[in-house]
Structure 1
Amino acid sequence: MSYLKTVVLLFCVVFSALSVAGDGHDAAPSSGAKDMPGAKGVFAFQPSDWMEGKKTWWKDSDGVAPGVAGCHIGTDENGTPNGRMFGEACMEDGFLVESNPGKDVLHSHANDTGHPDKFDCNAWCVGSGNSSGMCTIAAAAPCEQSAKCVCK
């Protein structure tokens, strides 16, 4: 009986892991990040003033640049700023939330949901020839707060 319980438990654990891995919330790194060290992939992100069901337009101030604090600036479909914005951030696990695509590229977010990249700053810094690194809060006007990878 113990053997059967172990097999059933193992099946449940594997099935749960596969279900979570395939839920569509995480994906491969963006085209701008795919060849960069420390790139962990994109994930769904909704700004604090999320507008459900709306197609929104944005420009990124720094492109995919983990060593630069960036600001994601809301615009209309012609690129005129509309007052919405959010900075990059350090996640609870220490990864950097790095907005994309390229610098000043006008792009849309379906359902007001973006897909920024996650970066392991230590891996990015080591892969860039430094001894270590970490995610740190930084300024990136016009955003009140942003973040970047700082290398040692």
Structure 2
Amino acid sequence: MKRLQTVLQRSHFIVAVLVVSVPLVSSCATKRHEVAATQTVTTLHEVQQPAPTAIDVSIVNLHDEAAPDPADEKVVGTIVNAGDKPVSRIAIRVNALDASGQVVRTVTTPPLAQPIGPFGGRATFEATMPRDRAVAGYHAVAVAQ
């Protein structure tokens, strides 16, 4: 019986040691912390827009011709549309220039009735102005209406 008592005492002692040491050991163990992080990523998708189309109109073959009335001068030329869109309602402003390049007189045509097609479309124009001995040449520009 003495042996049983000794075994029981040892068992109680072992249980007491375990009760005290388990929390002690677990408190000394490395702690594991979990950290949750959230990250928001915004993706920008840039779309390269094509450059806006520009009107690319030029005037070629600008010259004067005799008008039906000898008191007038007829100025004729060709409008070339090198742009990628048709143009319409274009008027032509013709400047009569003296020998020093100064504007002597200006005439603007009515807007053209028909559109000029893109990529090299052509149309002719004519403007009539009074004949003037001071006029040495002409300059013309297209004017959008």
Output the TM-score relative to the length of structure 2.
Answer: 0.25
Output the TM-score relative to the length of structure 1.
Answer: 0.24
Whichever of the two has the greater Rg, that structure is 2
